[in-house]
């Protein structure tokens, strides 16, 4: 990775200050290597003080050679062998119930080894933490299991899908957790283990540097993909259309990092070697 210029570093720092745990980049860094935080979130959302995580992975990939693959935000296994998938979604489109169904099914496939009986399947809990109340009923949690339609009796297959509404406000454990996920200032957080980790990543010089380097890597990787997509698109439908798609992807990425319109204009003008006036047209058109 090329060295980050001081100007770019300051832009990343500015974006970092506005990040919350609901933002994908910060969320993954908060969870990474921090079992107490994974346990805290699961214990609160499942109302289980005795839940003990024995292993977990951030950005767990399930490769499907014959179909759609998936990358789970946080995958965890507890002492009873139950499997958990924690997904954080700012965009309602990413919280599609069919996506939750697919994630749940991929955990089941991975859980059952060749030749094993179906009794070997442990409970699986897929949790989507959503920025908005996607079901619009004002509830903090929405817990779904398979039931018999006529009687409402549970099937008992051990599969659970839970939606946690991060816009929920309440003077209870879930409400405090949702508040922490929305909070940009770690000094205002309720849970010490979360506050300490977020403070390190956002306020400690070493943590800031770590985050800025991660953000730079993400920008480089996605910009490269955008340019490649632009080149391919350009070959198929004309260079200008492909270039436009690359610019649009870069703008959306910058906004994800919390950069201001002025900062994005600077970034786009530099990256695509165009004037700031032209870059501004793309930015304000998004």
Q: Is pLDDT of 61 > 80?
A: yes
**74 has a pLDDT exceeding 80:** yes
pLDDT: which is higher, 118 or 263 = 118
Which of 54-68, 138-152, 227-241, 254-268 is predicted with the least confidence, judged by mean pLDDT? 227-241
Q: Is 147 helix (H, G, I), strand (E, B) or coil?
A: strand
DSSP 4: P
| CA-based radius of gyration for the chain | 21
Q: What's the DSSP call for residue 279? A: H
Pairwise pLDDT comparison (167 vs 68), residue with the higher score: 167
- Give me the pLDDT at residue 227, please: 59
Exposed/middle/buried for 78, CB within 10 Å: 0-12, 13-18, 19+?
buried
Q: Which two tokens stand for residue 237?
A: 């439908």
Q: What is the pLDDT of residue 244?
A: 79
Structure tokens at 232: 């391919």
Task: State mean pLDDT over 222-243.
Answer: 57
Has residue 235 got a pLDDT over 50?
no
> Which pLDDT score is estimated for 63?
81
Average pLDDT, the chain: 88
In this predicted structure, the answer to whether residue 15 has a pLDDT above a threshold of 90 is: no
Model confidence, pTM = 0.76
Question: Which of the given ranges, 68-72, 129-133, 264-268, has the highest pLDDT on average?
Answer: 129-133
What sign does the dihedral 238-240-243-247 (CA atoms) show? Answer: negative
DSSP string, 213-230: HHHHHHHHHHHHHHHHHH
Percent of the chain topping pLDDT 90: 58
Q: Strand order in 83-89's β-sheet? A: 53-62, 70-78, 83-89, 124-130, 159-165, 141-144
CA angle 104, 106, 107 (to 5 degrees): 65
Q: Is the pLDDT of residue 18 over 70?
A: yes
């Amino acid at each position: 990775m090329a060295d980050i210029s001081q100007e770019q570093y300051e832009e990343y720092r500015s974006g970092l200050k506005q990040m919350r745990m609901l933002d994908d980049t910060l969320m993954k860094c908060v969870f990474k290597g921090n079992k107490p935080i994974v346990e805290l979130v699961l214990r609160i959302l499942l109302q289980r003080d005795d839940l003990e995580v024995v292993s977990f992975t951030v950005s767990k990939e399930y490769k499907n050679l014959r179909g759609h693959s998936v990358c789970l935000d946080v995958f965890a296994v507890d002492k009873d062998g139950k499997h958990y998938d924690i997904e954080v979604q700012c965009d309602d489109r990413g919280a599609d119930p069919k996506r939750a169904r697919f994630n749940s099914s991929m955990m089941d496939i991975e859980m059952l080894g060749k030749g094993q009986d179906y009794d070997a399947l442990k409970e699986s809990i897929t949790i989507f933490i959503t920025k908005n109340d996607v079901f619009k009923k004002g509830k903090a949690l929405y817990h779904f299991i398979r039931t018999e339609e006529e009687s409402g009796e549970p099937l008992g297959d051990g599969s659970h899908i839970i939606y946690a509404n991060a816009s929920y406000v309440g003077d209870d454990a879930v409400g405090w957790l949702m508040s922490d996920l929305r909070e940009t200032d770690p000094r205002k957080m309720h849970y010490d283990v979360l506050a300490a980790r977020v403070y390190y990543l956002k306020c400690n010089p070493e943590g800031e540097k770590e985050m800025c380097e991660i953000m730079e890597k993400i920008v480089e990787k996605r910009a490269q993909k955008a340019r490649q997509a632009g080149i391919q698109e350009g070959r198929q439908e004309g260079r200008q259309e492909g270039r436009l798609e690359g610019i649009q992807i870069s703008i959306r990425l910058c906004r994800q990092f919390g950069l201001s319109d002025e900062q994005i204009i600077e970034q786009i003008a530099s990256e695509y070697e165009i004037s700031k006036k032209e870059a501004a047209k793309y930015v304000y058109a998004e």
